[in-house]
Each structure stands twice: as structure tokens, then as C-alpha cells.
């Protein structure tokens, strides 16, 4: 059968060197076809295009060229073989060493110029190029994510063979007119250059094309997903509905809150189901907006539900609702997985018969058997912790049973994880985005400091002073328990014992973590919120849903192990009252962490996070166990904006309908099936 006639996804991995065992290894990382293999792009490149003089070769990977003038020496001790030599060039000398490779001694020519690639290690003021490889050409060499059972050299050879089939199994996916408008190279050129680039400029063109296409296809697939939920319930929200809500609260709204609630009200009035993201920094007042939307929905004759990722946060929202919504005549209910069967039965009945008009809960809200009388609004809090599928399941609860074309509830999602607006528009391409870019007046900025290890004890002395003044503190650790694999990382359990019997002896210190029994965790958090505990040692379980205005100190151990956005979230646990608050990041000198000491603006923090980590990490697409054809993005926000504008134009310009349909066909073929399991970090 002519392989060129077969669909790209069906072309088998008929490549020399790929037997049953190696085929199984490839399938374990999601590579089932030649197309899968070709879209398994390098994670980085070894830059073997620039020579480093021997004298200037210091720690890191280098390419050097020179002459070995004296015969290499082989020595053995304790079962270890070591080959040593010296490379000489016009700038000076560079010691060479190979461990457990005795054959190298006979492969190194004396008196002949050679090129070597390897890593320079420095110890006690001495440096040496270790286990270097001899190379014959200067080029960019691709480095792929490790595949168990396939050595790196073998994998590269497999990829070279696969590239011979590029034209057959990877036909062009983008319309020629679109490529010309956006100055994108052809796909076959991009794939070949992305794997084995001729030079840096060719690689840049290839990465631009691949990144643009991946982002465009992702947005197109999200548009297709969104298309299933176009029809909604138009709610009779009066023009003064938002203003009426603000008058019922004891505090005035910010201008940003007024603007966003007006946008939500306008969406609720439409026949198209709302799909809106409210994105705002910690403390910007998103909960007041959510409750306002729920109140308008209930007054229009419908039910509203709000789903949170943790029981702590769900219960907090419910308790706030009892103080805010219940006095307005809106019956509220709570639904969580830890409830007793008898409690669940009562809540289910109240949801089904309409007794509860506003419901709060965890994933229990979407569990089998839960029914709603007339669901008009679905809200998910901390959206980054839910997937598209979970949000869709909750929305499906509002449809008439068995009627896929019936109106769907309006959807409002919220996230305090700071994401630059551009990335939010792309990451949540199936949603309209409202940004709450203003904080209520009177909030005191948290003072953030980097604390080196030698000042750790003094910092805890300051914490004691804060507790003596009537304040409380958090101490967050990366691990629950000590790990032999990460000896330098502090665990919550060990830190708890150390502090309790050491520098914080005499204070009321408690411990909590994610997998702690729910009842036990709830009691620890209740005691801390009630002021019965002075210091709470925990993992990142307290990142969201814990609101203790009296807490004025946040200590983060091994701060270098966290992303900037997560550290900003943790910092948001303090500074919630009127007292001056502090966030101490225990780590060595760090340009990354210094950003947090310079600003409290979550959007600026997120922009820096985007630059440092790249959007692939933020989107959660680089995770072990996933197929290796994830986003090839360099953190270039301008390219992301360009792809976003392109998709917007394709949707709105009828003259580009043929282009849009081609892009959507490709998106449906390669992305749509994976949207339901796509990670949202």
C-alpha cells in the first residue's frame, strides 16, 4: 500500500532500529505514528556553533578546539578508570578528563587539531572538561526529552529517518494566504529545521511557524468546543440590577467592580449563554462580583451554583453567603463530598425542588444523581484548578434531561492566579475575559524580603515578636515529610517539630497538609482562624480559601522551588487586615525572587513569570505522561497576540470563511479530542 496515500495519523513507525520493545517505549510517551514522532520537538539545542577559547572555558557546556600535545594518561584506582589529557590552543590550556571510559585513551590523536564538546566542571579553583565528545562539525544539535529505552543518539537517528517522510505524513495545515499575511514558512521546512536546523535564523523561522500554528489550532479547537453552548436562558435583569446589588453591601465598589458586574449583567440578558472569566489579583473583590451575579440570577427566577476546588474554600463561600445572601431572602445550601449520606440526601432534595436557590460546594455539585430545579448560572472559583470537562459537566446539569439542544446555564469562572491579559485571552480562548485591575482602598501592601539561610534564626525571632504583639503567622514548606531524594528541601512535618521545640518553643504551633483527614484539617484551620493557634506550618494547601485577617507574617521555606505566581498567591494569605504584613522568602540570592520584593502587583509578577518560564509551563502542557507534541513557545507575548488577533479576524471576517473552515478542520482533527483532559495550571 502507498504510504503517501494514508492519513497522517495512521502512518506506522516503519523505521530501522525500532523493534517491539522500542515501539512500546515510544507509545508509553504518546508516540504512535510517524506524525506523532515528527511533532515530538526538541526541548532545547546544544549550541555547537561557537568556539570557546581554552582559557575562557568555565562552568557549563562549551565547544573547544585545540591540540593534545602529550599522550593521554590512563589511571585506575578503586575500580574507577580515569583518562586525563590537556588541550592547548592560542589562548592557553584546558585540562580534560574521562571517567570509566578507558578506550578514549587510544582514540585521542596527539599533535592533531580536534574539536571537543562537553561540560566544564570547577572544584576548589580547578577546572576540567569532563567526558567530552569529539565532534567534526559546528552546528545546533537537538536535545529531546528522554524516552526510556532509547538512548539520545539512537533517538536522533530515528528522527533523521522519520524526516524523510515529512511531506507524506505532515501535509500543509495552514492556508497559503494566511501564511503570507503572517510571514510564516511552510510546514515541511519548519519541521525539518525545528529538528536539525541549518543555522540559528532557520531555527527561529521554524519555531515561529510551529508556535503560531499550535496556538492558532488551540484557539480554534476551543471555539469549536464553545460552539456547543451557544443557546442560553435570557434572564430579565433590570438595567439597575448591578447598582441595586452594590447598594445592599456595606462598602462601595471600585470602578473595576462596577464595570465588570455591568459586563456580567449584559451577558445574563442575552440569549447566548454567558462564558466569562473574571480574572483579578488577590483581594480585588471577585467574591462580591460572584455573589452579585448569583443575586441577580435568583431574582430573575433561576438557581445559581458556585463550585470551589477545595472544601475549605467552598465552606468559606457558603458561610459568607449566609451573611450576605441569606438576609436578602436567598436560601443557601452547601454540598461537599465529606457530608454524611443523610445530609447529602437532604441537600440533593433541596436542590432538585428549588428550596435552595444558591448552592455552594466542591465536585460534589457535579456528582451523579444531583439534579437542579432551574439552574441559570454556574460559577467556578479558582478556575485554573478545573479542566474544561469539569466545567462542562456542571453546565450540563442545567440542561433539560436528554435534550442536548436545550438552553444551557450561563457560565462565570474566576481566577486569582495572576495571568497577563494576553495570555488569559489565549489560555481561556473559549471565554470572554473581564479583568478586575483595581484593589479596594485601604489595603496595606505586603512587605516582601529575601532571607538567606544565615539569617533564618533572626527572621524567626521577628516572627516571635509579631506573635507577642497579637499577630499570627504561616510557615509554608514544599514537602509534607522529609525525602531522601531531596535532602536539601525542608518538609512541613520536620519543620513543625523543629520550630515547636526550638526557636518557637512556647508558642501555639499547628500543622496541616493536603492529604490530612478532612475533619482534622478543618479543625486545624478553624482553630487558626479563631486565633487559638499562633503559627500554622503547612504545605501549599493554604494557597487558596484561607482568610485570616489577623495573620501578618508569611514564611516560605525553599522559596526557589516555587513559581512566582504561586508565591504571590501565598503572599496573598497575609495583608488581609489593617496591620502591616510581611512575606519572608527563605532562599539564596535570586533574580527571579527579587521581583516579588519590588512589586505587589500580581499582573506584573505574572508577566515576569511568563518571561521566565514560558507560557507552556503556565498552561500546564509540559507534564510527564502527556504526549510529547506540546506547545513550542518561547514566551514571546507578541507572537501570542498575533495568533490571537488572527483567530479573531478569521471568526469575524466573512471573506476569510474558507481559511477559518480549513483551520477548524485541522483543529478538530488534532486537538478537539484532547480538550477535555487538557490541564489548566
- Assign domain 235-269+285-415 to a CATH class: alpha beta
Q: Residue 418's pLDDT is what?
A: 63
Q: How far apart are CA 45 and CA 140, in angstroms?
A: 6
Q: Residue 663's pLDDT is what?
A: 93
Q: Residue 32's pLDDT is what?
A: 82
Q: To which CATH superfamily is domain 50-135 assigned?
A: Nucleic acid-binding proteins (2.40.50.140)
Q: How confident is the model at residue 311 (pLDDT cuts 50, 70, 90)?
A: confident
How far lies 218's CA from each of 376, 410, 606, 640, in Å? 29, 23, 22, 12
Q: Residue 677's pLDDT is what?
A: 43
Q: How confident is the model at residue 450 (pLDDT cuts 50, 70, 90)?
A: very high
Q: How far apart are CA 277 and CA 256, in angstroms?
A: 14
Here the cell at position 422 is: 494576553
Residue 23: pLDDT over 60: yes
- Going from N- to C-terminal start, the domains of the chain cover 1-43+146-169, 50-135, 235-269+285-415, 447-599
Beta carbons within 8 Å of 534's beta carbon, 6+ residues apart: 467, 472, 473, 504, 507, 508, 509
Q: How far apart are CA 32 and CA 10, in angstroms?
A: 9
Mean pLDDT, the chain, integer:
83
Q: How far apart are CA 515 and CA 541, in angstroms?
A: 9
Q: Is the pLDDT higher at 109 or at 33? A: 109
Q: How many other C-beta atoms can be found within 10 angstroms of the C-beta atom of residue 508?
A: 16
Beta carbons within 8 Å of 199's beta carbon, 6+ residues apart: 49, 140
Q: How confident is the model at residue 4 (pLDDT cuts 50, 70, 90)?
A: very low
Question: Per residue in 413-447, pLDDT tens?
Answer: 888 766 666 566 666 666 777 888 887 776 778 99
Percentage of residues in the chain with pLDDT exceeding 70?
Answer: 84
Element (H, E) at 395: helix 388-396
How confident is the model over 488-509, as a mean pLDDT?
Answer: 88
Q: Residue 488's pLDDT is what?
A: 63
Residue 611: pLDDT over 70: no
Q: How far apart are CA 551 and CA 475, in angstroms?
A: 11
Residue 383: pLDDT over 60: no
- Assign domain 447-599 to a CATH class: alpha beta
Q: Residue 400's pLDDT is what?
A: 56
Question: Per residue in 575-599, pLDDT tens?
Answer: 887 788 999 999 888 888 988 998 8
How confident is the model over 487-510, as a mean pLDDT?
Answer: 87
Residue 257: pLDDT over 90: yes
Q: Is the pLDDT higher at 430 or at 171? A: 171
Q: How many other C-beta atoms can be found within 10 angstroms of the C-beta atom of residue 473?
A: 27
Of 271, 304, 321, the residue nearest 379 (C-alpha): 304
Segment among 220-234, 367-381, 501-515, 563-577 with least mean pLDDT = 220-234
264 contacts 412 by C-beta, under 8 angstroms: yes
Q: Is the pLDDT higher at 547 or at 62? A: 62
DSSP class per residue in 120-143: EEEETTEEEEEEEEEESS-EEEEE
Here the cell at position 168 is: 507524506
Give this prediction's pTM.
Answer: 0.63
Question: Per residue in 395-413, pLDDT tens?
Answer: 666 565 655 667 888 989 8
Q: Which residue has the cell 529545521?
A: 193
Q: How far apart are CA 464 and CA 447, in angstroms?
A: 17
Of 142, 149, 132, 137, the residue nearest 54 (C-alpha): 132
pLDDT winner (highest mean) among 8-12, 86-90, 363-367, 561-565: 86-90
Here the cell at position 300 is: 430573575
Question: Per residue in 510-544, pLDDT tens?
Answer: 999 878 887 888 889 889 989 999 999 998 888 76
614 contacts 630 by C-beta, under 8 angstroms: no
Residue 218: pLDDT over 90: no
Q: Do domains 235-269+285-415 and 447-599 have the same CATH topology?
A: yes
Kindly report the CA angle at 534 between 530 and 535, in degrees rounded to 5? 115
Beta carbons within 8 Å of 366's beta carbon, 6+ residues apart: 307, 390, 393, 394, 397
Q: How confident is the model at residue 624 (pLDDT cuts 50, 70, 90)?
A: very low
How far lies 642's CA from each of 36, 171, 420, 617, 638, in Å? 26, 23, 15, 20, 6
611 contacts 635 by C-beta, under 8 angstroms: yes
Residue 619: pLDDT over 50: no
Percentage of residues in the chain with pLDDT exceeding 90?
Answer: 42
Residue 609: pLDDT over 90: no
Of 508, 515, 511, 539, the residue nearest 525 (C-alpha): 511
Residue 229: pLDDT over 70: no
Q: What is the Cα 152 distance to its own chain's centre?
A: 28
How confident is the model over 244-251, as a mean pLDDT?
Answer: 92
β-pairing, 582-586 vs 447-451, is parallel
Residue 680: pLDDT over 90: no
Amino acid at each position: 500500500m502507498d504510504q503517501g496515500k494514508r492519513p497522517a495519523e495512521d502512518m506506522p513507525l516503519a523505521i530501522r532500529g525500532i523493534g517491539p520493545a522500542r515501539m512500546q517505549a515510544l507509545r508509553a510517551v504518546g508516540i504512535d505514528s510517524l506524525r506523532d514522532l515528527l511533532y515530538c520537538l526538541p526541548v532545547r539545542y546544544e549550541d555547537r556553533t561557537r568556539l570557546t577559547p581554552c582559557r575562557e572555558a568555565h562552568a557549563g557546556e562549551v565547544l573547544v578546539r585545540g591540540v593534545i600535545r602529550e599522550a593521554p594518561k590512563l589511571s585506575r584506582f578503586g575500580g574507577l578508570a580515569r583518562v586525563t589529557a590537556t588541550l592547548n590552543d592560542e589562548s592557553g590550556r584546558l585540562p580534560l578528563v574521562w571517567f570509566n571510559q578507558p578506550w578514549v585513551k587510544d582514540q585521542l590523536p596527539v599533535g592533531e587539531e580536534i574539536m571537543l564538546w562537553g561540560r566544564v566542571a570547577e572544584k576548589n579553583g580547578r577546572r576540567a572538561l569532563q567526558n567530552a565528545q569529539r565532534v567534526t562539525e559546528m552546528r545546533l544539535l537537538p536535545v529531546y526529552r528522554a524516552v526510556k529505552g532509547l538512548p539520545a543518539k539512537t533517538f536522533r537517528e530515528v528522527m533523521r529517518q522519520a524526516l524523510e517522510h515529512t511531506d507524506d505524513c505532515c501535509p500543509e495545515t495552514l492556508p497559503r494566504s494566511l501564511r503570507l499575511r503572517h510571514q510564516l514558512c511552510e510546514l515541511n521546512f519548519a519541521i525539518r529545521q525545528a529538528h536539525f536546523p541549518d543555522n540559528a535564523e532557520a531555527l527561529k523561522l521554524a519555531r515561529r511557524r510551529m508556535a503560531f500554528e499550535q496556538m492558532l489550532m488551540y484557539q480554534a479547537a476551543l471555539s469549536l468546543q464553545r460552539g456547543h453552548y451557544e443557546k442560553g436562558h435570557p434572564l430579565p435583569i433590570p438595567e439597575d440590577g448591578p447598582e441595586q446589588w452594590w447598594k445592599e453591601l456595606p462598602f462601595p465598589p471600585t470602578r473595576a467592580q462596577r464595570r465588570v458586574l455591568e459586563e456580567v449583567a449584559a451577558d445574563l440578558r442575552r440569549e447566548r449563554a454567558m462564558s466569562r472569566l473574571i480574572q483579578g489579583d488577590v483581594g480585588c473583590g471577585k467574591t462580591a462580583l460572584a455573589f452579585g451575579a448569583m443575586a441577580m440570577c435568583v431574582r430573575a427566577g433561576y438557581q445559581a451554583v458556585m463550585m470551589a476546588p477545595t472544601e475549605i474554600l467552598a465552606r468559606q463561600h457558603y458561610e459568607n453567603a449566609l451573611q450576605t445572601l441569606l438576609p436578602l431572602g436567598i436560601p443557601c445550601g452547601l454540598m461537599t463530598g465529606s457530608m454524611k449520606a443523610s445530609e447529602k440526601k437532604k441537600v440533593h432534595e433541596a436542590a432538585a425542588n428549588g428550596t435552595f436557590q444558591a448552592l455552594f460546594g466542591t465536585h460534589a455539585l457535579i456528582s451523579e444523581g444531583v439534579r437542579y430545579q432551574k439552574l441559570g448560572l454556574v460559577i467556578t472559583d479558582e478556575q485554573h484548578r478545573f479542566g474544561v470537562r469539569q466545567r462542562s459537566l456542571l453546565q450540563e446539569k442545567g440542561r433539560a434531561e436528554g435534550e442536548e439542544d436545550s438552553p444551557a446555564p450561563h457560565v462565570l469562572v474566576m481566577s486569582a492566579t495572576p495571568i497577563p491579559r494576553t495570555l488569559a485571552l489565549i489560555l481561556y480562548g473559549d471565554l470572554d475575559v473581564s479583568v478586575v485591575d483595581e484593589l479596594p482602598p485601604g489595603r496595606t501592601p505586603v512587605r516582601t524580603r529575601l532571607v538567606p539561610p544565615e539569617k533564618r534564626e533572626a527572621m524567626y525571632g521577628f516572627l516571635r515578636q509579631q506573635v507577642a504583639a497579637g499577630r499570627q503567622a504561616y510557615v509554608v514548606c514544599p514537602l509534607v515529610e522529609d525525602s531522601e531524594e531531596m535532602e536539601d528541601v525542608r518538609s512541613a512535618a520536620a519543620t513543625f517539630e523543629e520550630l515547636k521545640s526550638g526557636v518557637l518553643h512556647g508558642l501555639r504551633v499547628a500543622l496541616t497538609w493536603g492529604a490530612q483527614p478532612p475533619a482534622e484539617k478543618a479543625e486545624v484551620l478553624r482553630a487558626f482562624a479563631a486565633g487559638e493557634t499562633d503559627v500554622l506550618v503547612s504545605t501549599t494547601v493554604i494557597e487558596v480559601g484561607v482568610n485570616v485577617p489577623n495573620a501578618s507574617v508569611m514564611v516560605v521555606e525553599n522559596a526557589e522551588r516555587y513559581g512566582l505566581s504561586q508565591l504571590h498567591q501565598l503572599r496573598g494569605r497575609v495583608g488581609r487586615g489593617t496591620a502591616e504584613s510581611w512575606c519572608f522568602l527563605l532562599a539564596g540570592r535570586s533574580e527571579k525572587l527579587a521581583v516579588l520584593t519590588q512589586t505587589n502587583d500580581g499582573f506584573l509578577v505574572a508577566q515576569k513569570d511568563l518571561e521566565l518560564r514560558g507560557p507552556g509551563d503556565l498552561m500546564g502542557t509540559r507534564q510527564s505522561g502527556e504526549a510529547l507534541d506540546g506547545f513550542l513557545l518561547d514566551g514571546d507575548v507578541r507572537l501570542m497576540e498575533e495568533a490571537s488577533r488572527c483567530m479573531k479576524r478569521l471568526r469575524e471576517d466573512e471573506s476569510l470563511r474558507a481559511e477559518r473552515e480549513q483551520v477548524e478542520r485541522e483543529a478538530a482533527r488534532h486537538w478537539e479530542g484532547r480538550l477535555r483532559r487538557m490541564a489548566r495550571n
